[in-house]
Structure formats: C-alpha cells, structure tokens
Amino acid sequence: MINLAATVKISLRALKINKMRSALTMLGIVIGVTAVIIMVAIGSGARERVSRQISSAGSNLLVVVPGSMTAGGIRMGFGTQANLTTKDAEAILKECPAVWDVSPEVHGAAQVVFGNQNWSTAITATTPSYLNVRDWLLDDGRNFSDQDIRNTTKVCIVGQTIVENLFAGQDPIDQIIRIKKVPFVVIGVLEAKGQDLMGQDQDDMILIPITTGRKKVFGSLRPDMVRSIIVKTVSTQELPQAETQIQELLRQRHHIGPKEEEDFTVRNLTQMLQMAEKSTRIMTMLLGAIASISLLVGGIGIMNIMLVSVTERTREIGIRMAVGAKVRDIRLQFITEALILSMIGGAIGIIMGIAGAKLIALLTDWSAMVSLPATAAAFGFSGLVGIFFGFYPAYKASLLNPIEALRYE
Amino acid sequence: MALIETVGLKKIYNLGGSVIAALDGITTNIEKGEFVAIMGPSGSGKSTFMNLIGCLDKPTAGRCFLEGMDIGCLNRDELAVIRNKKIGFVFQSFNLLPRTSAIENVELPMLYSGLSPLDRKLRARKALKMMGLEGREEHLPNQLSGGQQQRVAIARALVNDAPLIMADEPTGNLDTKASEEIMELFVKLNEESHITVILVTHEHDIAAFSKRIIRFLDGKIVSDEKRSRP
C-alpha cells in the first residue's frame, strides 16, 4: 500500500506542473462553494428577519376586529362597526379554553406635548394584560394596575421613540406629558421592539388605561366599546381551535343566525407571519439548490481536466505499473489529485463566501447570515464532488494496459 | 528449478479480423544467473516474449513459470507484486518520470512495496552510488546525459533486489561509448551479484556481451546457442 504522504506529494507536483490549468479547474469549485454560502446566507438572513418580526409581534396571536358598517348600501370597511365591547373580551377569556389572555384596545393618533417639545404619535388605550399578550417587557417603571383601569387614572407608558423625541435624555418616569391637552404621568417605559412586518415603528406609541382613553382622550365613544381585541392562545397548535371558539362565542353573543354574516372578523396574525417564514425557508433552499448546480458544474470541470491529465500522463502510468503499482495505487493517486483540487477550491470558496456575504450585508440593507451547517455542507459537498468526478478518470487510468501505456507517445 | 520456464507459450492478436500469432509455441528454460540475449528482426516476437515473461502481459495459450509459479493464472495486482519484487525493467527510452529527481525515480518501486520514507532514501542513495551517480541524486532526467539516465533506470531496476533484470534495447538511444559502459554494468551485475539478465537487442556487438543467444523469427525460436564471453 502506497503511503498517503507520498501520494499527496506526487499529486501536488502534478498539479504544480500545470498551475494555470489547476487554478482554473479549482475556480469552478471556488465559485460553486462561494455561491452556496452567499445564497444560503442571504436566505437565512431573510428568514432571521421574518422570525424576528414574528417574535416582536408576539406569538400565538389572533386579532378580533368589528365588521364593516353598512350605511345606505355603502360598506365602510373593517372596524367601522362599533359592536365589540369589553364584555366580549372578558367572555372570550372566560369561555374559550384555547385562549390564554386577551387585551381589548382602543387606539388613535394624538399630539403629545412635554415642555417645549411636541410629537404626534399613536395612542393605545388598553388593559394591563396588553404587555403579556404582546410579549413586551418594560425597560423601566411599572405596568398599569386594575385600579388604574377602575379609577380612570391619567397614567401612561411610553415607547422608546417617544423617549428619544420628547424627553431628549431626561428620565421620563414621573414626568407629566399632555396628550390632547390632558396631563398624564409617565409610569413606565417600554423596551425597544423595532419595526413590524410592514416596516412600522412599533416603539412610536403611548399606552394609557382603556377607561381613561375612552373618557378623556378619544371621547364620544360608547362607554364599553373597543376597537379590537388581541387574543393570545395557549400554544401555536391551538390557534385554529381558538379561532373557532371565538367565532362561535361571538356569534352567540351578537345574536347572529346560522346563515347571517358575522359582524366581526378574527385575523390570524401569527399564521400570516409563519407563512412568510415558510416561504423564505423555501427560498433559501431554492437558492442553495441553484448554487449547488454551479458546484456540480465545477465538478464536471474537474473530471474534464482529470481525463485530459490521465491521457497526457499515460506513459507515467505505464512506468508506475511496470515498477509494481497496483490498480488501487493508480486510482488513489488520481482521486487524491481530484480531491486536492476540490478541497483547496472549497477552502478558498469558504473564505470568499464568508467575505462575500459580509460585503453584501455591508453594502446593501439585506441581512446575510453565514450559516455554519451550510458552510460545512458546501465544503463536504465539494470534497464529494472531487471524489465522485475524480473516480471515473482514476478508474480509466487504473485499467490501462501497461504495455500500451509504456509505448504511448 | 529454472528461473523461467515456458511451455508452448502463445500470444495471438486479433487485429481487425486478421489473426496474427506474435508468439507461436515457445518452449524454453532460463536458469538463474544466466545472461541471455534475445535477437531477431522486428516483428519476430522477441518483445512479446519479453512482455510475457516480464509479467506485463498474459499469454493466449501455453504456460509460463517464474520461480515455479504459473504467472498465467495471476490477476493484475498479483502480477504487479511480481514486477515489483522480482523483475527490474530497463527500457530503450529510459522511461524515467519527467520533472522528478533521479533519487525519486529510483525510490518509485519502493513506494509500491511499502517501505518507510527513510529506508527508501537510504536504499535509493546506495543504488545510485553503485551506478556511479553519487552527487547527482537531485538532478532531473533532462539534466543528465543518456548514459546517466540509463544508469538511473538500472538503479531503479535493482533497488528492490530483483533477481531478474529485463532490458529491452537498453543501448538503442545511446552512443557507442555509453553503450559499452552500460553493457559492462550489466556484465558486472551478472557476474558479481549473480543477477539474471535478459536482453533484447538486434545489435550483434551488444549481444556479444551475453553468454547465451536465442534467436526469434516469426514467433518461433530458430536458434539457441550457449557461448563463452570473449
């Protein structure tokens, strides 16, 4: 058995003789591995972005909004009917086993003033359960209490964007801001959440107790009404059950006959996001698969060059056979050569792929995440390509007739 | 026991429908320590005979024994082992690996017999020294003269202690002076180390170095004479 160190030495010498040719052959593998790493990095980046959005929206969420109001044959769109109430929210929490928590809310926009600063932002009037439902934590201060809701206290929790724009470095806690001229005490600061799926800044918001909102900020509302109810289910698996339970319950509560149209809509937010994640995952796989084709093409390049090499070195093979090289010695030598070509190509490809992914992330606003398994797979695959496409030329070389090989000019 | 024994050895080529008997029933013995020249015009079958007893090819019919072993029933790898251990080849065109130093060329057979790198270096160095090539170990074949290249090839043939050297027109590409030097090397190996030498040539003054001349014509032996070296 010929020893491996000598085989590698012989192979390296053979590859050095045709430097340009070896380099070009490697280039095929380099491009293939680079492409796989960059493509998968871009795909994983997109996926990561979507799953970040999923978690920032809060998981396992359903949103119940009132149906469309019809006035003289003109339908006004979702949420225009004022028929959802706090009682509906309480009933959903109590009657639907798949529901873990609910948060009714009323929202609108308002001008907010602090000192000589002012800012226009979204106001969400809601209950203490809102933070739990949205998986949102406080950076500072405290949440509303049930007492705040009962007493219509004028307190508020502000988002990070508000802190930046209104308070400019000051500690917002216990400061008094005016929302539509009504003074509110800041009792808490929300942690930063970033953009949602549509690119909206989720931190540009102020939370106030729902009762205070109805009475002092939005006015002219039915005392009990809510604009929407966010529902958190026990688990992702129970989203469909929760949806049906809520539909049945609200049909009953709103006295809707079996053939009548519902006066509310249940939207499944998580499902939408999960679909988005699934499609980016498929995209990643597709990109990786397309890039793998270039790796395959690189492998064919190796086979091509190895076949040329076997023909050129027929006499050398004959000499080796005459002095006692066995079939497997010849095979091992040519496979080693192919493997060295593909492994060096793969290593360069990894470096270029990682550099390329970082560069793309730097120059564009795409996020590119280099995935370790994809990198390892690309390298392993390039090695397999070397063995696979090196095998046929090596097999061909090993079956040469020694006499004819020795006579070959 | 004869070193080589052939019985009715035949090699038939089928070239595009016409059947050519390159060897047509050769029966002969070569004893250990002999120095045999095989002569004959081109196409007489002398090279085919060499290839068969050199384990590079298999006969169509008949048998060929090397140290009593029937080489007709060995597979490719078993034949490779015999070539590696028992036979050293010397060719007309030297057949050294290009761009490979003299010492590495000599190491080649040991690469396939599994010697350690250090042993390979030591033995190759010794073999080259024996051929008077000390100091030229790192030269590439194209930096050596024809005679020196052929001596590297002989060192390669000897390095695995093969009892048999087969030389196919070893002086065909050499001038008269170098030819003589090479032939004297073979004589020395035969007389001092008792290595069996089988030489294929068509030059009478080269065959004159041998102790036995077998002449081939049309795949048959036409004469076989033993003689004393002048």
Query: Can you give chain A as a three-state secondary structure string?
Result: CCCHHHHHHHHHHHHHHCHHHHHHHHHHHHHHHHHHHHHHHHHHHHHHHHHHHHHHHCCCEEEEEECCCEECCEECCCCCCCCCEHHHHHHHHHHCCCEEEEEEEEEEEEEEEECCEEEEEEEEEECCHHHHHCCCCEEEECCCCHHHHHCCCCEEEECHHHHHHHHCCCCCCCCEEEECCEEEEEEEEECCCCECCCCCECCCEEEEEHHHHHHHHHCCCCCCECCEEEEEECCHHHHHHHHHHHHHHHHHHCCCCCCCCCCEEEEEHHHHHHHHHHHHHHHHHHHHHHHHHHHHHHHHHHHHHHHHHHHHCHHHHHHHHHCCCCHHHHHHHHHHHHHHHHHHHHHHHHHHHHHHHHHHHHHCCCCCCCCHHHHHHHHHHHHHHHHHHHHHHHHHHHCCCHHHHHHCC
Same domain, A227 and A286: no
Domain that holds residue A360: 4-53+280-407
User: Quick check: A78 pLDDT over 60?
Assistant: no
Per-residue pLDDT reduced to its tens digit, A30-43: 999 999 999 888 88
Per domain, the residue ranges of chain B are 33-59+73-226
Residues A386 and A257 grouped into a single domain: no
What's the pLDDT tens digit per position in B168-188?
Answer: 999 999 999 999 999 999 999
- Per-residue pLDDT of A148-162, as tens digits, reads 888 889 999 999 888
Over range B198-208, report the average pLDDT: 92
In a domain, A309, yes or no: yes
Range B62-91 average pLDDT: 92
Is residue A206 situated within a structural domain? yes
Whether A149 and A100 share a structural domain: yes
Best mutation target among B23, B56, B200 (most A Cβ atoms within 10 Å) is B56
pLDDT reported for residue A197: 63
Average pLDDT over residues B38-59: 91
Q: In terms of CA atoms, which chain B residue is nearest residue A4? A: B111
> Both A245 and A311 in a single domain?
no
CA distance B184 to B190: 10
A24 phi and psi angles, rounded to 5 deg = -65, -40
A63 within a domain of the structure (yes/no): no
Same-domain pairing of A247 and A194: yes
**Does A267 fall in a domain?**
no
* Residue A198 confidence (pLDDT) above 50: yes
Interface residue A4 vs chain B (CB under 8 A): no
On whether residue A73 sits in a domain, the answer given is no
Which residues 155-194 of chain A have a CB within 8 Å of chain B? none
* Same domain membership, residue A95 and residue A31: no
Query: Is residue A242 scored above 70 in pLDDT?
Result: yes
Based on the fold, state whether residues A284 and A252 are members of the same structural domain.
no
Say yes or no: B95 contacts chain A, CB-CB below 8 A.
yes
Query: In the predicted model, is pLDDT for residue A139 greater than 60?
Result: yes
pLDDT at B102: 95
- Average pLDDT over every residue of A39-56: 80
A256-280 pLDDT, tens per residue?
Answer: 888 777 888 888 876 777 777 788 8
Give the residue from chain B lying closest to A314, CA to CA. B97
The ipTM is: 0.94
CA distances (Å), origin A28, targets A17, A23, A119, A165, A292: 19, 9, 57, 53, 11
Tell me, yes or no, if A43 comes closer than 8 A to chain B by beta carbon.
Answer: no
**Cβ neighbours of A320 in B, within 8 Å:** 108, 112
A362 plus A324 within the same structural domain = yes
**B91 lies within 8 A of chain A by CB:** yes
A109 and A236 assigned to the same domain: yes
Of the partner residues A316, A318, A324, the one whose CB lies closest to the CB of residue B80: A324
Q: Is A45 within the bounds of a domain?
A: yes
Work out the average pLDDT over B84-111: 94
Report how many domains make up chain A.
2
pLDDT band at A1 (very low <50, low <70, confident <90, very high): very low
Model pLDDT, residue A80: 56
Q: Does A400 touch chain B (CB under 8 A)?
A: no
| A295 and A375 share one domain | yes
- The span from the first CA to the last CA of chain A, in angstroms, equals 29
pLDDT computed for residue A216 by the predictor = 85
Searching chain A, which residue's CA lies closest to the CA of residue B165?
A323
Is A231 among the domain residues?
yes
Label residue A71 by pLDDT band (50, 70, 90).
Answer: low
The answer to whether position A21 is within a domain reads yes
Q: With contacts defined as CB-CB under 8 Å, which chain B residues touch A327?
A: 76-77, 80
**A238 vs A57, A60, A268, A357, B100, CA distance in Å?**
18, 8, 12, 39, 73
Structure tokens at A408: 């070959």
Question: A197 and A227: one domain?
Answer: yes
> Mean per-residue pLDDT for B63-80?
91
* A329 and A370 both lie in a single domain: yes
Q: CA-CA-CA-CA torsion for B130, B135, B136, B137, nearest 10 degrees?
A: 80
Using only C-alpha atoms, chain A has a radius of gyration, in whole angstroms, of 34
Verify whether the Cβ–Cβ distance A1 to B114 is below 8 Å: yes
- The architecture (CATH level 2) of B33-59+73-226 comes to 3-Layer(aba) Sandwich (3.40)
